[in-house]
């Protein structure tokens, strides 16, 4: 089985990460997406848009297509008749037509789900981008990951709350504000930190918290009861290792973590890497969450071929 992951926007590398995770799970996959966003930040992909030459040949030979958001369905170069699944990452975009199975990124609010299954953001743990590394220095280092676009849209309540919480620390820790960076540069900065603050759970397409676990960090985010329930549904019942903090309580959580010291935080970060290796394995997440949608897409295609149903 060969799967084409297609996206009309970079999605901060979300389609590429999904394709890479499928490959780690032993499923042939490739990504067709832009190689940079509107701000010029590089984004990883296998083939650039529009597909040409080898990309067209692989697309034609693919057994199924996963469209990241529904925009690719409008493109004439997308082969007709192939089993197709839509994975919604961005609220407010087009809804897939009747007969196309689809799911919604689990970090989106309930209003975006419409009863559809939450889908996990896949993290290819074996790729060099996501490997842990040594922590910097003998002081606690905190990386505050702000949503892309912060430099252009600074008046974001989540950003303001994060900066206010950091201000209360004074010089108790080394601070690193991480914003508007390409995926590989963001991960490099996070890798050196003991603690990562995911200032906006919807930022960077919901992957920052998971990426921080992968590179061995303690993670602070707003993992409320609803998000925790979605995580359990996607993993089949596992808990989560996040340090949950509402904006008003961020400063208190930060001070408590800084008080533990760099050695203890580094140990906690290694445990978080172990958690994601066990609970967020691409093969299991794909089997549990994505393969049923692909099976539904194949069944829908057979119904259309037999002429028993039209869409």
Per-residue pLDDT tens over the stretch 8-31: 999 889 999 999 999 999 999 999
Residues 125-148: tens digit of each pLDDT: 999 999 999 987 789 999 999 877
Q: CA torsion, points 149, 199, 212, 173, in degrees to nearest 10?
A: 110
Predicted TM-score (pTM) of this structure = 0.90
Residues 40-62: tens digit of each pLDDT: 899 999 999 999 999 999 999 99
Residues 66-125: tens digit of each pLDDT: 999 999 999 999 998 899 999 999 888 888 998 899 998 887 776 676 778 889 999 999
Q: Which of 215, 224, 179 is nearest to 195 (CA)?
A: 215
Q: What CATH number does the domain located at 2-125+283-306 have? A: 3.40.50
Domains 2-125+283-306 and 128-278 share a fold: yes
- The span from the CA of 165 to the CA of 275, in Å, is 27
Residue 311 confidence class, pLDDT cut points 50, 70, 90 = very low
Sequence ranges of the domains in the chain:
2-125+283-306, 128-278
Class of domain 128-278: alpha beta
Q: Which of 98, 49, 38, 104 is nearest to 78 (CA)?
A: 49
Give the list of residues 6+ apart from residue 285 with CB closer than 8 angstroms, or none. 21, 120, 122, 234, 235
Q: What is the mean pLDDT of the chain?
A: 88
Residue 269 reports pLDDT greater than 90: yes
């Amino acid at each position: 089985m060969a799967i084409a992951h297609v996206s009309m926007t970079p999605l901060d590398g979300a389609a590429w990460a999904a394709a890479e995770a499928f490959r780690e799970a032993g499923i042939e996959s490739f990504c067709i997406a832009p190689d940079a966003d509107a701000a010029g930040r590089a984004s990883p992909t296998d083939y650039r848009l529009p597909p040409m030459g080898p990309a067209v040949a692989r697309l034609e030979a693919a057994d199924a297509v996963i469209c990241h958001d529904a925009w690719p369905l409008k493109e004439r170069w997308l082969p007709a008749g192939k089993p197709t699944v839509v994975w919604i990452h961005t609220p407010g975009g087009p809804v897939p037509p009747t007969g196309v199975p689809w799911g919604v990124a689990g970090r989106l609010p309930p209003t975006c789900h419409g009863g559809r299954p939450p889908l996990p953001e896949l993290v290819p743990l074996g790729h060099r981008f996501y490997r842990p590394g040594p922590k910097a220095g003998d002081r606690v280092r905190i990386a505050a990951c702000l949503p892309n676009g912060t430099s252009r849209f600074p008046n974001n309540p989540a950003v303001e709350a994060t900066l206010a919480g950091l201000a209360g620390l004074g010089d108790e820790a080394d601070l690193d504000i991480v914003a508007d960076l390409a995926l590989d540069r963001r991960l490099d900065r996070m890798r050196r930190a003991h603690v990562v603050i995911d200032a906006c759970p919807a930022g960077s397409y919901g992957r920052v918290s998971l990426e921080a676990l992968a590179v061995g960090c303690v993670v602070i985010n707003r993992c409320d009861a609803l998000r925790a329930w979605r995580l359990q549904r996607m993993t089949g019942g596992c808990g989560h290792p996040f340090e949950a903090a509402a904006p008003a309580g961020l400063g208190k959580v930060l001070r408590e973590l800084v008080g533990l010291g760099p050695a203890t935080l580094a140990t906690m970060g290694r445990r978080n890497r172990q958690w994601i290796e066990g609970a967020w394995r691409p093969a299991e997440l794909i089997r549990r969450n994505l393969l049923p949608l692909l099976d539904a897409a194949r069944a829908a295609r057979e119904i259309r071929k037999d002429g028993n149903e039209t869409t």
